[in-house]
Amino acid sequence: ILKPTISVHPEYDNVYEAEGFNHTIPEASAITVMSARPFSLHSDVRDGEGLEQMSATMTGLDEILPIMHCWPLYFEYSVLQHSKFTMEVNGPIISVIWDINPFTQHDFPPVHISATIGITNQLSLDRSGWVGSPGAHGCPGKQPYRSSLYDLSTPIHAEITTDQPRSFMTMSGTNSDTLLLSDRDGGVFYRLGRMEDGNPTVANFHTKNLTINWTPNGTGNDYLIVQWDVTKPN
C-alpha cells in the first residue's frame, strides 16, 4: 500500500514523522504522517473561507481520493470552521486532505497539528471517528500492515463517549466473529460477524456511551475497523 504518492495540490503536500511532530503548517492542503509505532494525531481549530471537505485514510495520498480503493476512515463536508480532532492511528501511516475537490482552487489557512506516540481507545462521540485493530487500514482485499511492534493478541476494548446522547451510525468491517458493540445506556448489544462481499455491517445508535469489544485470533490475519458517523441522521 505504501506507494509513491500522487499529489492533489503538490505545492502544499507535506510528509512528517509522528514522533516530535508539533507545529503550525502554513497553507497545508494535505499531509501524511508516519510512524513505526501506533500514534495519535491532534488538530486545533482551523478557520478559513472556502474549505469544502476533509478526508483521512491510513494510506499514502495516492489512495485518499474517493475514486481510489480504500475507505475514508474520516470524512467531513463543509469544513468552513474545522474543529479540533484526535485521530488514533493503530498503524504506520495516515494521510489527511482538506478540500478534496480537484476542480476548485482555494487559499488554505494555516493549521496547527501535533502527534503523540501511543493510542488510548478513549474517544469522543462529538465528532466522527474510528477504532481499528493493529495494522487495519480499510483497503478491501489487502492484508493489514504488519510489524513486530504490533500487539496482535490483546483484545480491543474502546469507550466512545459524549456528554449528551446523540444519534449516529456505525460501520464495521471484520473477518472474525468476535465483535460486540454495546449501548451501555439502553442495554442494546450488537454481536457482529464477518463482512459479506466486502460490505461493512451498519448499526444505528442513540446514546452517549458506545463500547467496542473485539478479540483477535493472534495470527495477525484478522482485522477490525469500526467507524462512527455523527454528521448524518439515522
Q: Residues 66-75: pLDDT tens digits? A: 555 787 888 7
pLDDT of the residue at 178:
82
Do 18 and 86 lie in a common domain? yes
Do 131 and 73 lie in a common domain? no
In a 10 Å sphere around its CB, with 0-12 CB exposed, 13-18 middle and 19+ buried, how is residue 162 labelled? middle
Stretch 54-82: mean pLDDT, rounded? 72
Residue 109: partners with Cβ closer than 8 Å, 6 or more residues away: 27, 46, 47, 48, 51
Do 70 and 127 lie in a common domain? no
Stretch 18-23: mean pLDDT, rounded? 93
Give yes or no for residue 138 having a pLDDT over 80: yes
pLDDT of the residue at 202:
83
Print the domain residue range for 63: 11-117
Do 110 and 127 lie in a common domain? no
Do 113 and 130 lie in a common domain? no
Which helix (H) or strand (E) is 228 found in, with range?
strand 224-229
Do 62 and 89 lie in a common domain? yes
Number of compact structural domains in the chain: 2
More confident residue, 132 or 189: 132
Do 22 and 113 lie in a common domain? yes
**pTM of the shown model:** 0.84
Stretch 22-36: mean pLDDT, rounded? 83
Cα angle: 117, vertex 211, 81; to 5 degrees: 60
Do 126 and 225 lie in a common domain? yes
Stretch 20-37: mean pLDDT, rounded? 85
Tell me whether strands 224-229 and 129-132 are parallel, antiparallel or unpaired: antiparallel
C-alpha cell of residue 38: 501506533
Q: Share the mean pLDDT of the chain.
A: 80
Do 94 and 25 lie in a common domain? yes
Least confident of 58-72, 111-125, 151-165, 212-226: 58-72
The confidence band for 77, taking pLDDT boundaries of 50, 70 and 90, is low
Q: Choose from 62-71, 135-144, 193-202 the range with maximum mean pLDDT.
A: 135-144
Residue 5 belongs to some domain of the structure: no
Give yes or no for residue 233 having a pLDDT over 50: no
Q: How far apart are CA 200 and CA 210, in angstroms?
A: 18
Q: Under a CB-based contact definition with an 8 Å cutoff, are residues 88 and 40 in contact?
A: yes
Stretch 180-197: mean pLDDT, rounded? 79
pLDDT of the residue at 19:
96
- What b/e readout covers 86-123, taking b as 16+ CB neighbours within 10 angstroms? bbbbbbbbbbbbbbbeeeeeeebbebebebbeebeeeb
